[in-house]
Amino acid sequence: MNIMKTQRTVNRGRIFPEIQWTEAQKAQWRTEQEAFYQRCKPIFECVQPELIKTHYGWYMAVEPESKDYFVAQDELTAIKLSRQKHPNAPVFIFRINETGVAGTI
């Protein structure tokens, strides 16, 4: 007796198809992110020359409202330090190097 196996169909698609951003919402989000970056960048540029000598390759979490920054060897620790002082405030992560870029392209 032959038993036929049924082919399982794989449903591919969005996890939450009801959440669809319009182009206007995407553009607004990008604008908000850029504005947040522009508020954090001067704080980083102010302390970068002195920190690059002693903490090259470390990470820096910047909270722009209080102008506080937190330095740690990895980005999760820097974020954790910032959350201890500012629990609900968003932070921007910089890498202490010539460019300040924390991620990979």
Tokens of 105: 């392209």
Burial class (CB in 10 A: 0-12, 13-18, 19+), 102: middle
The pLDDT, as a whole number, for residue 2 is 67
Task: List all residues 6 or more positions away from 35 whose beta carbon is below 8 Å from its beta carbon.
Answer: none
pTM attached to this predicted model: 0.75
Residue 13, Ramachandran bin (φ over 0: left; ψ between -120 and 50: alpha; else beta)? left
What average pLDDT values come out for the chain (105 residues) when binned by 10 residues?
69 74 94 95 93 93 94 94 93 90 72
